Amino acid sequence: MAILDILKLPDPRLKQVSEPVECFDEDLRGFVADLEETRLAGPAAVGIAAPQVGRFQRIVIVDVSGRPKTPNHGYLILVNPEIVHWEGYAIGREGCLSVPDYTGNVIRATGIRLKAQDLDGRETEYVMEGYEARAVQHEMDHLDGLLFVDRVVSRRTDLYRRKVYQT
């Protein structure tokens, strides 16, 4: 396994739309293992998408199980994810490995129904709410060349420089 380089804004490749995964093989499994190792090496990241490391396929990893009292499905590898229903809206603060210096307020659906494939190509459906739904929507945006800064309510009032703490 390897830690991959994270693409960072203003890298134009972050705007690229990703292609569906068609081949479910050992190469895909190896890449996903590297993607997870990269996520874990980052600063408390709950998700990562393949385009963030320069692979333009529709793959995301999300794991919000570390947040207490947060309804979730645990560690998820979502291949070719598609939101088939959403409901409600809420503003929430988001950050991103590809935009390390900022956080921002973004409007997202509060509940979603999602279908995706696993690493064997089997389709599964999930119903998600709250923080898990927000995290999945954030990661799925990467698959369409979008970053949270493209969705902030107002760049003037809802984009914040991330605090840096001395250790």
3-state secondary structure of 59: strand
Contacts of 72 (CB under 8 A, 6+ apart): 63, 64, 65, 128, 131, 132
pTM for the model stands at: 0.95
pLDDT of residue 43: 86
85 is known to lie in a ligand binding site: no
142 is known to lie in a ligand binding site: yes
pLDDT of residue 44: 85
Region 71-83 average pLDDT: 97
Question: 19, 37, 123, 139: which is the annotated catalytic residue?
Answer: 139
Q: What is the pLDDT of residues 111-165, one digit of tens each?
A: 999 999 999 999 999 999 999 999 999 999 999 999 999 999 888 888 999 876 5
Site of tokens 């921002």: 104
pLDDT of residue 1: 80
Region 69-79 average pLDDT: 95
- The CA–CA distances, whole Å, from 54 to 50, 51, 87 equal 7, 5, 31
**Could you give the domains of the chain?**
12-161 (3.90.45.10)
In the predicted structure, residue 166 carries a pLDDT above the cut 80? no
In the predicted structure, residue 77 carries a pLDDT above the cut 70? yes
CA quadruple 86, 42, 9, 1: dihedral, nearest 10: -100
Region 94-110 average pLDDT: 96
Q: What is the pLDDT of residues 14-42, one digit of tens each?
A: 999 999 999 999 999 999 999 999 999 98
Is 139 one of the annotated active-site residues of the chain?
yes
Angstrom distance (rounded) from CA 147 to CA 25: 29
